[in-house]
């Protein structure tokens, strides 16, 4: 049965009432006994109230900021809601793991906590002692340690009564030089987003979400925590670390719990297609999944095809593969493909030369050697608008490539304590995303990032296109490639540089052959010859807090080691 979409003035109003004995969070704990635990909505809210009482005992008042740095589990989620119950403003920061570069994490942690000016920083017992010194403290900041839900509150907490325009929480836009951009979102913005998203998803009472996505970014926080929280939908969750160590585990959870919805980035489609063994696929029943949503900029048809080819025998339907364009600054989704369409993700083929040289989309047939594919991210949600603009800010017609600008009723009002950054991207209530794309027949197609374009001999190349080609090589770790331009004084244009991580360091003995194979593939598909292909061992590439390769930081690392 479809969920009734009601209007509320605040997140807390939406939390109050409703059926509380339904299961809310099933948390998978790899290697533990039992392997998973489940809490109901009533149990979760009781835990949130206990955290609210704890925070209140430390003097937290309405409007105070609370930073949460805890491992992904129910206590983190309950403490987040507990802060909101008091009218405080929580934000979740990444917990340090083996996936995150230590020096980059230290810099980002210090920068964010300094900018937030938190009244309270809550960490758990697993937080490394040596990193505590990187938390920027004000005169009023207190750091507390908590990893388990506190004992039940001795008395009923009086919930705050926020107005629609009050800040509900702060989420951080993924950054490659530290999480410096705090996105403060009002209750109204969050609720508007969730109503539009639930409508497009045709959200059902029987839906069940499966997720490993981190809660410190919008895809995990909004789609896989706040959405199910407010609409009373069951979420089956695991930590990002557990998923990385055993990618098949997410699919096993989806199969065991008959999950219906999940969001994953584009690289995960390819990663799951390549890294899950036939033995791990045996017995998977994935026919319950009605929407596996590729939420990336850009979406790659090839990656989704690889996923479908790998799991169609497990019950995955092509009509279940969907796409979305989302960002923290818009709370979450701007676009989403439509549930129930026979071909949800539309792919168009365009002339490569017209695209690279003239930023123009001219239709070609798929079998044409000069054709390049683009996958749609869907149409705009209700009350969301997209326009494509040129360098001078004028609006471009359909089929012209330019910067994507967004307007909606779920948008942020600016970066927290960063008016300088806000002025750069907010103009006349439009958010200029610095993403590049085009519109055709109401579909939004995302091409890449404006700042990452590589110009070689007057032609525009987008690093994602090149990185996708490189990631197809069997020796390369999917999603762990970086392409960038390096200006050549001799040639008067950029040289194309490629860095790629191997899956297994033992294969580096074949580095010369691998580099040659990658070079040939890139030349054959895009017509540009790399100046340098640099194959590196695992964990060499620097990643952002969202787990994406950080191009600028990786470029600087490469230059410092090869100067």
> Above 90 in pLDDT, residue 41?
yes
Confidence of residue 458 (pLDDT cuts 50, 70, 90): confident
> Has residue 513 been placed in a domain?
yes
For 448-481, b/e burial (b = at least 16 CB within 10 A) is bbbebebebeebbbbbbbbbbbbbbbebbbbbbb
Q: How far is CA 136 from CA 59, 95, 96, 106, 113, in A?
A: 19, 16, 16, 11, 5
Domain boundary among 452, 487, 520: 452
Whether 516 and 399 map to the same domain: the answer is no
State the residue range of the domain holding 541.
453-561
Asked whether the CA dihedral 179, 431, 200, 298 is positive or negative, the reply is negative
> Above 90 in pLDDT, residue 44?
yes
Question: Minimal CA–CA distance to 200: which of 347, 433, 2, 406?
Answer: 2
Rg (CA), the chain: 23
Whether 370 and 483 map to the same domain: the answer is no
- Position 179 scores a pLDDT of 47
Give the residue, 547 or 388, on which the prediction is more confident: 388
> Has residue 55 been placed in a domain?
yes
Whether 262 and 194 map to the same domain: the answer is no
Q: How far, in Å, CA of 122 to CA of 262, rounded?
A: 29
> Has residue 533 been placed in a domain?
yes
Q: What is the pLDDT averaged over residues 132-146?
A: 82
Whether 444 and 469 map to the same domain: the answer is no
Encode pLDDT of 317-358 as tens digits. Answer: 999 999 999 999 999 999 999 988 888 899 999 999 999 889
Question: Minimal CA–CA distance to 258: which of 315, 305, 324, 309?
Answer: 315
> Above 70 in pLDDT, residue 461?
yes
Q: How far is CA 223 from CA 233, 267, 507, 560, in A?
A: 11, 18, 39, 39
Domain boundary among 233, 262, 279: 233
Whether 459 and 447 map to the same domain: the answer is no
Question: Minimal CA–CA distance to 183: which of 331, 297, 325?
Answer: 331
Q: How far, in Å, CA of 30 to CA of 38, rounded?
A: 14
Q: Three-state SS for 20?
A: coil
Whether 270 and 372 map to the same domain: the answer is yes
Residue 421 is given by DSSP the state: H
Asked whether the CA dihedral 257, 259, 263, 269 is positive or negative, the reply is positive
Whether 505 and 391 map to the same domain: the answer is no
CATH number where 436 lies? 3.40.50.12780
Average pLDDT of the chain is 90
Yes or no: say if 227 and 194 are a contact pair by the CB < 8 Å rule. Answer: yes
- Position 563 scores a pLDDT of 64
CATH number where 223 lies? 3.40.50.980
> Has residue 427 been placed in a domain?
yes
Q: What is the pLDDT averaged over residues 512-524?
A: 93
What 3 state SS string does 511-527 have?
HHHHHHHHHHHHHHHHC
* Residue 524: other Cβ atoms inside 10 A: 10
Confidence of residue 176 (pLDDT cuts 50, 70, 90): very low
3-state helix, strand, coil in the chain (%, to 5): 35, 30, 40
- Position 460 scores a pLDDT of 87
Domain boundary among 185, 204, 233: 233
Whether 92 and 46 map to the same domain: the answer is yes
Whether 442 and 476 map to the same domain: the answer is no
Encode pLDDT of 180-233 as tens digits. Answer: 689 999 999 999 999 999 999 999 999 999 999 999 989 999 999 999 999 999
> Has residue 340 been placed in a domain?
yes
Task: Give the phi and the psi of residue 89 in degrees, each rounded to 5.
Answer: -115, 105
Whether 408 and 331 map to the same domain: the answer is yes
Residue 226 is given by DSSP the state: I
Residue 320 is given by DSSP the state: G
> Has residue 3 been placed in a domain?
no
> Has residue 238 been placed in a domain?
no
Q: What is the pLDDT averaged over residues 122-146?
A: 84
> Has residue 2 been placed in a domain?
no
Q: What is the pLDDT averaged over residues 12-29?
A: 90
Whether 225 and 268 map to the same domain: the answer is no
DSSP E strands in 457-562: the ranges are 459-461, 476-488, 493-502, 532-536
Q: Three-state SS for 211?
A: strand
CATH number where 517 lies? 3.30.300.30
Confidence of residue 99 (pLDDT cuts 50, 70, 90): low
> Above 60 in pLDDT, residue 424?
yes
Number of domains, the chain: 3
Whether 435 and 500 map to the same domain: the answer is no
Q: Give Cβ neighbours of residue 506 (< 8 Å, ≥ 6 apart).
A: none
- Position 429 scores a pLDDT of 92
């Amino acid at each position: 049965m479809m969920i009734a979409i009601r209007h509320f003035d605040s997140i807390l109003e939406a939390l109050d009432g409703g059926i509380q004995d339904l299961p809310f969070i099933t948390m998978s704990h790899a290697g533990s006994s039992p392997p998973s635990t489940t809490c109901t909505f009533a149990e979760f809210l009781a835990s949130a109230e206990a955290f609210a009482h704890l925070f209140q005992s430390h003097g937290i008042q309405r409007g105070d900021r609370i930073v949460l740095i805890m491992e992904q589990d129910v206590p983190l989620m309950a403490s987040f809601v507990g802060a909101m119950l008091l009218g405080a403003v929580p934000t979740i920061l990444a917990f340090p793991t083996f996936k995150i570069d230590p020096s980059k994490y230290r810099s980002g942690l210090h920068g964010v906590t300094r900018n937030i000016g938190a009244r309270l920083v809550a960490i758990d017992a697993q937080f490394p002692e040596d990193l505590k010194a990187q938390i920027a403290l004000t005169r009023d900041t207190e750091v507390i340690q908590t990893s388990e839900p506190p004992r039940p509150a001795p008395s009923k907490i009086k919930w705050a009564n926020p107005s629609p325009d009050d800040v509900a929480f702060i989420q951080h836009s993924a950054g490659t030089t530290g999480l410096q951009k705090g996105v403060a979102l009002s209750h109204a913005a969050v609720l508007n987003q969730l109503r539009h998203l639930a409508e497009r998803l045709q959200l059902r009472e029987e839906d069940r979400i499966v997720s490993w996505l981190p809660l410190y970014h919008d895809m995990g926080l909004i789609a896989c925590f706040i959405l199910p929280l407010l609409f009373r939908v069951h979420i089956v969750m695991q930590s990002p670390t557990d998923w990385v160590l055993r990618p098949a585990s997410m699919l096993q959870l989806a199969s065991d719990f008959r999950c219906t919805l999940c969001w994953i980035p584009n690289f995960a489609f390819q990663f799951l297609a390549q890294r899950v063994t036939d033995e791990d696929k045996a017995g998977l029943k994935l026919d319950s999944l009605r929407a596996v949503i590729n939420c990336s900029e850009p979406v790659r048809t090839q990656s989704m095809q690889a996923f479908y080819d790998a799991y169609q025998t497990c019950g995955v339907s092509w009509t279940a593969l969907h796409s979305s364009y989302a960002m923290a600054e818009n709370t979450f989704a701007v676009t989403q493909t439509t549930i129930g369409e026979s071909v949800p993700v539309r792919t168009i083929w365009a002339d490569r030369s017209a695209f690279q040289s003239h930023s123009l989309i001219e239709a070609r047939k798929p079998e044409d050697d000069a054709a390049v594919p683009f996958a749609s991210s869907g149409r705009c949600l209700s009350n969301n608008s997209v326009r494509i603009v040129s360098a001078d800010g004028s609006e471009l017609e359909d089929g012209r490539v330019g910067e994507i600008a967004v307007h909606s009723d779920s948008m942020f009002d600016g970066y927290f304590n960063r008016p300088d950054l806000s002025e750069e991207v907010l103009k006349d209530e439009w958010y200029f995303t610095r993403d590049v794309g085009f519109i055709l027949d109401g579909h939004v197609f995302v091409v890449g990032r404006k700042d990452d374009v590589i110009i070689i001999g007057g032609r525009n190349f987008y690093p994602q296109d090149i990185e996708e080609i490189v990631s197809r090589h069997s020796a390369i770790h999917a999603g762990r490639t970086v392409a960038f331009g390096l200006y050549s004084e001799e040639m008067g244009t950029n040289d194309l540089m490629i860095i790629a991580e191997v899956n297994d360091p033992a294969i580096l003995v074949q580095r010369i052959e691998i580099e040659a194979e990658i070079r040939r593939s890139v030349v054959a598909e895009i017509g540009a010859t790399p100046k340098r292909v640099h194959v590196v061992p695992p964990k060499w590439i620097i990643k952002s807090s969202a787990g994406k390769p950080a191009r600028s930081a990786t470029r600087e690392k490469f230059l410092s080691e090869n100067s």
